[in-house]
Amino acid sequence: MQILGFYITGYQVAFVILAGITLASAAMVVLLPNILRAAMFLGLSLFCTAGLYALMNAPFMAAVQVMIYVGAITTMIILAIFLSNRVMRIGFAQAIYNPLLAAGAAGLMFLFLFLTVVNSVWVKSAVAAGPARVGQDVPAVAQALLQPYVFPFELASVILLAVLVGAVVIAKEDVDGDS
């Protein structure tokens, strides 16, 4: 497909749409005053990120992203918001009160990151023109997890056990006088 003299592939169109939704809903996450809607938009943003992973030829990551991030984490956050709707009033002393100032700082940060990293000669020399076609699929991930990366894999299971037990202890309601 050729538009205004540029060759545009279907993948590029898909990228622009997915990236656009990802970024727009991410902006909603930080801008919306209603925290529940912000959390919903976080789910949308993470869902579209899964689409981006698919475009990078990483199907396993796309599936994990949808199942864990969208399916579990966002749901958990929304549930917690329902459980504690008054807690939003806990105010934090912010470093920057003025949203415009914060936006300026974030914008400068982006410009800085774009110029120094994203568009740097180092990144350009390190990468190829397209995503890998082999070696990024589910069997490859499974083999890597259970052979070279078995230590972080086992450590992650210990972390989940310890941390979830701790989270339950903190979150559960103690009956008075029960010791």
Dmax over CA atoms of the chain, in Å, equals: 76
Evaluate the CA torsion angle 123, 129, 133, 134 in order and state its sign: negative
Distance CA 26, CA 127 (A): 27
Q: 133-162: which residues touch other proteins (CB under 8 A)? A: 133-136, 140-141, 144-145, 148-152, 155-156, 158-162
Amino acid in the structure at residue 18: L
What x-and-dash track marks residues 53-82 binding other proteins by CB under 8 A? x-xxxx-xx--xx--xx--xx--xx--xx-
Bridge partners of residue 3, in order along the sequence: 6
Does residue 3 interact with other proteins by CB under 8 A? Answer: no
Q: What is the H or E stretch that residue 6 is in?
A: strand 6-7
**For other proteins, how many residues bind (rule: CB under 8 A)?**
111
Q: Least Å distance between CB 172 and other proteins?
A: 9
Q: 7-46: which residues touch other proteins (CB under 8 A)? A: 7, 9, 11-12, 15, 19, 22-23, 26-27, 29-30, 35, 38-39, 42, 45-46
